[in-house]
Each structure stands twice: as structure tokens, then as C-alpha cells.
Amino acid sequence: MMRTHSHAPVPFALPDIGQEEIDAVTEVLRSRWLTTGKRCQQFEAAFAEAVGADHAVALNSCTAALHLSLEAYRVREGDLVFMSPYTFAASAEVVRYLRATPVFVDIDPATLNIDVERLRTAVVASAEAGLGRPKAVMPVHLGGVPCDMPAIRTLAAEHGMHVIEDAAHAFPAARDGAAVGGLREGEPGTACFSFYATKTITTGEGGMLTTGDAEIAARARMMSLHGLSRQAWTRYEDGGSWVYDIVAPGFKYNLTDLAAALGLVQLQRAEQMRLRREAIAARYSSAFADLPGLAVPTVPAGVTSAWHLYVLRVGDGRSSRPRDELAANLTRSGIGCSVHFIPLHLHSYYAETYGYRPGDFPLALRESQRSVSLPLASSLTDDQVGSVIAAVRSSVTESARHG
């Protein structure tokens, strides 16, 4: 058994916050306008420019962005939304909000993203079996590596489906020079980003929807605040009017100016922070290259990863025991770690509702049983990275000695 740690604990994720962020939030507090207002407008404009999108709508979570995207595309009961089961709860739960059906498709084990050929097979089979209307596909850019969006968009167009990108992990990321979320007029679909506390940039809680479709952006914006025809800022700014109309029964998904002020500063530092995470990932991979039974993450050619996660693979996936042993040893060593993800078809709600069995998506099952995510944040010091490396190496070499 490994000794308990003698160094300071290394958190799994720690926001990279400096004085500039603190000053920006303080300025908003002093302004006395705390909710959705000018800072949100500035954040939307700056984010749209950063990814190259025509429209951006600031929201209180990526979950909200996914939900509003589905609602704007009129997803309803009887509709099918295709996605990987290798994702967080939000990806599928928003589909159930609208009483539609999430259809899981197995993954490409190299990237942990949805497998496009399996997606094609699933769409055709679902249509032929009369299971429902293929309405949308929701590719998840896992860990910051973009899916094969050109192939997915082509497939979606062939079957009349909308594309809603779950880009919670994928800012800033790009494939073949195209930034994730950089949707322009004539490019259908939405991309949905997360600014949760552990994400690559943070607003504490927050999200963003980008799109090239002005109507979808307008619908999402209206539905994000109770379906009102006028939002608070436009009602109460100089020359505004208190008069508004309820156009539809909406939601309470707006972002605050406090959060947007934090996001504006984080946005300016986004590439600097990404480069730091990339450097940490490279150091990890170099340090683990000679260890038996480990597979380090890879980035496909032409891809710029956001490096939100560093997912290390342990063993062959036939059992979770090697991964669990490493994770336990890391915890005893004071190293924060996590698992991304327990596939959704293994959770009781989806298994009981749709009759899924563990082996229905064998690649997702296998990779989930051997995956462990190591600390990867731009706030990590070189000494902390060294502690993570030492703990992994110690655990793996000790396990090898004991067979």
C-alpha cells in the first residue's frame, strides 16, 4: 500500500483567478447593476468574436444552452436526439425535459467522441424501425477534442436533423482551423459552452449559446428570461419602457453581469491558459510514456484541443480494478482525480426507462472502466504537476511489482 502524502494536497481542479478578475467583479458591485446588463452584452460580443460566430447568447449554464437549443428547434415528444452515452447527465436530461428520446451511439475509443459511422447506422436503423422522428444530433466534444463536425453535419443534412454541439469542454478548441462554435449565417446548428468553476474559463456558473441563425438566437434569448418580449436591461435603461409582453412560457436562464465581468477577463486569458494546460499535458505524457499498462491521451492531426481533461487509460478495460486501484492510490497521496464519465446507459434512470444493458455500448463501457482524469488546470504549479507525476509513477510501479 502506498504511503499517505507528505506534500500539500493537489486539487483536481482549481479556478485560475487573479487580481484583474477580482477588480472586474468589484467594479460591477460598485455599479449597483448586478443582473443581466451591459457586461453580459459585452461578454456575448467578445465571445462571438473569439470563436467567429454571428450570434452569442449568455446563459447561466451549458445545460440551459442545450435546453434552449432543443426548444428553439421545436424538439418534441416522439423526436429522437442522437448522442454518445459517454457524457455528463446534462446532455441527455435536457432531451427528456421535452419528452423526446435520447438515442445513444457508441464511441471512437481513440477520442472518446461519438463514432460517425455508428451514428449513421443508428439513424438509419431508428428511422426504419419507426422508433420516432430523427430530429437532432448532439455531438459531445469530450475533454476538449472536437468531434468530426464536417462528417456529422453532412449526415445530419442528409436526414434533416439539427446539430446541437455540446461544447462544454471545448473552448478554445478547433479542427482544421475552424473554431468550435464559430457558426456563421448559412451554417445551421448551435454550439453550447460551459463556464462552470472547473471549466477552461469560468464565470462560477455560466454558459453560452452560439449560432449563425438570427432567429434561433432571438428565440433562445427570449426564452432565457421567462419568454418576455423585453429583458430587464432594455426595460430599465435610460429611455426604456416598463411595458413588456409574455410571448411564450419561458425559463430563468439569464447570466448576471457579475458573472459576465469575470468571464470577460477570463476570455482575454483563454489562449494563455490553454497553452499552460497543453504544456502540463505534454509533461504528463512524457513522464508516463515508459509505464506499462497506461495509455496517454492523443490529439488527432489538425486538432487544437482545449485540454479541459487529461484522461489517462489504465489497463485493458475488461475490469475497472486497475483504474480503481490507481485512483485510490492517488487519493491517498493527496492527488485529486475523477472519472469522466460513467456512461449514461449504466445509470438506473436510463437503464430502467429504455432497457439498456451494460454491454449495449461495449466501447463506452470498456473505456469508462479504464479512464481516470488527472488534475489539469492552468493554476497548477510545476511542483504540483511533479507531485501528480510522482504519485502516478509510484502507484503503477508498485502495482507492477505485486503482479
Q: Is 402 exposed, middle or buried (0-12, 13-18, 19+ CB in 10 A)?
A: exposed
Contact yes or no for 281/307 (Cβ under 8 A):
yes
Is residue 199 annotated as part of the catalytic site, yes or no? Answer: yes
In sequence order, the 6+-apart residues with CB closer than 8 A to the CB of 57 are 44, 65, 68, 208, 209, 210, 211, 217, 220, 221, 224
* Helix count and strand count (H, E) for the chain: 14, 13
Kindly report the backbone phi and psi dihedral angles of residue 294, in degrees, each rounded to the nearest multiple of 5, phi listed first.
-115, 145
Number of Cβ within a 10 Å radius of residue 195: 30
Residue at 320: amino acid letter: S
Q: How far apart are CA 260 and CA 36, in angstroms?
A: 9
In angstroms, the first-to-last Cα distance of the chain is 13
Q: Which of 38, 135, 199, 252 is catalytic?
A: 199
Residues acting as catalytic residues = 199
